[in-house]
Copies of this chain bind each other. A is one copy, B any other.
Amino acid sequence: MGRMPGRVPSAPPTLADVAELAGVSRQTVSNAVNNPDLLRSDTLLRVQDAIATLGYLPNRAARNLRTRSSHLIGLRITAAQEGTANATMDRFVHSLVDTSREAGYHVLLFAGDPLDPLAGYDDLLRSTAVDAFVVTDTYLGNPQAAWLQTRRAPFVAFGRPWADPEATHPWVDVDGAAGCDLATSHLLDRGHQRVAWIGWRKDSFIGEDRRSGWSRAMRSRGLPTTGLASRVEDTVSSGREASAVLLDEAHPSAFVCASDTLAMGVLHTLSQRGLVPGRDVAVVGFDDSQVAQVVPPGLTSVRQPLEDVAAEVVTALESLLGHPPAAHPGVLLEPTLAVRGSS
């Protein structure tokens, strides 16, 4: 096969092998792959034939070494929370993998210690293992973003820089307020007047943002919100307790929740009291998790357009990693409402 002596028979073909088979130099093969325009068409064809014959694909490590880029995007995943309905991360990962593949990137996962949001980033950066990061948990006041910026590491955030409006890094986010406005208006359109809110504690930027969508929708119809809101931990039992209190004290006919987890808490309360979701009391959640999709009678939920988020993230990454690197402003996307039996 014209291989150099000493090569293991099963070793993948190299650029030199292709060059020899096609009767050209290595550089010509490289150009055929990276800058086909530079070649005369008949030469190009000959090289492409040889590439196809040998099943050649450039060695990643060699290319990475020379070009100082890995075509890998680092994504930190934290331990899945048991007992919640949070599925955002997983759906996002899928979308990101799909989208970044089209852009020629792969996704490298690394583990995240929830207590140390910076762990892992530094090592990958110093060993030039990834070209850029996608940062997801910006609700923590994103110390990663600040840190990555001082390190001049390219990254795109899924989530606004809540704690630092001056931040200039690219980000993509979903308009939670608009989503809850949508959910609330949906309920109001169906004749509900007393729509309650169950959200997260006040120190959550995202929670307050979503809540503002609910109160905005209520006010725009001249409806009161006083006494109709509750702010708790993001657990099923918190949602259960909060909804029980609200039902007793404020007599709402519908609930809008900051998460599917809380909405499931409401369903617990309803089931305990023999109330039927969607008939006696309407419930809307947030995230369109698998739970919302399969729980009887179906939980209406705000759905984040994670495919679009991933696409925008990859677009931002591409301009960030382009030559010259271009700044990408923040992007805010609109969620939709998946209507099911609970409303």
Of listed A60, A93, A152, A294, residue having the most chain B CB within 10 A: A294
Known: A12-B127, A290-B291. 19 other contacts (CB 8 A): A12-B125, A57-B126, A59-B65, A59-B127, A60-B64, A83-B290, A85-B291, A93-B93, A93-B109, A98-B111, A101-B111, A108-B109, A267-B295, A271-B296, A272-B296, A291-B291, A291-B294, A291-B295, A295-B295
Q: A336 at the A/B interface (Cβ < 8 Å)?
A: no
Q: A68 to chain B: which residues have CB within 8 Å?
A: 61
Which residues of A3-40 are within 8 A (CB) of B? 10, 12
Nearest residue, chain B, Cβ from A236 = B294
Which residues of A216-243 are within 8 A (CB) of B? 236
Q: A94 to chain B: which residues have CB within 8 Å?
A: 77, 79-80
Q: A115 at the A/B interface (Cβ < 8 Å)?
A: no
Shortest beta-carbon distance from A139 to chain B in Å? 19
A80 to B297 Cα, complex, angstroms: 22
Q: A264 at the A/B interface (Cβ < 8 Å)?
A: yes
A84 to B90 Cα, complex, angstroms: 14
Interface readout for A48-75 with B: 1 if CB under 8 Å, 0 if not?
Answer: 0000000111111110110010101000
Query: Do the beta carbons of B82 and A293 come within 8 Å of each other?
Result: yes
Query: Do the beta carbons of B90 and A80 come within 8 Å of each other?
Result: yes
Query: Do the beta carbons of B289 and A290 come within 8 Å of each other?
Result: yes
A183 to B256 Cα, complex, angstroms: 36
Interface readout for A92-129 with B: 1 if CB under 8 Å, 0 if not?
Answer: 01100110010000111111000000000001011111
Interface readout for A248-290 with B: 1 if CB under 8 Å, 0 if not?
Answer: 0000000000000100100110011000000000000000011
Please provide the 5 A-B residue pairs with the shortest distance between their CB atoms, ordered closest to farther: A61-B64, A61-B65, A57-B126, A57-B127, A268-B296
A267 to B110 Cα, complex, angstroms: 37
Q: Could you give 27 example pairs across A and B, Cβ below 8 Å?
A: A12-B126, A12-B127, A12-B128, A57-B123, A60-B64, A60-B129, A61-B62, A61-B65, A64-B64, A64-B65, A77-B94, A82-B293, A85-B291, A85-B294, A86-B290, A90-B90, A93-B109, A98-B111, A101-B110, A106-B108, A106-B109, A107-B109, A108-B109, A264-B295, A268-B297, A271-B297, A272-B296
**Chain A interface residues toward B at CB < 8 A:** 10, 12, 55-62, 64-65, 68, 70, 72, 77, 79-80, 82-87, 90-91, 93-94, 97-98, 101, 106-111, 123, 125-129, 152, 236, 261, 264, 267-268, 271-272, 289-291, 293-297
CB within 8 Å for A294 and B264 given contacts A65-B62, A72-B108, A108-B72: yes
Of listed A65, A68, A152, residue having the most chain B CB within 10 A: A65
Shortest beta-carbon distance from A298 to chain B in Å? 9
A267 to B277 Cα, complex, angstroms: 14
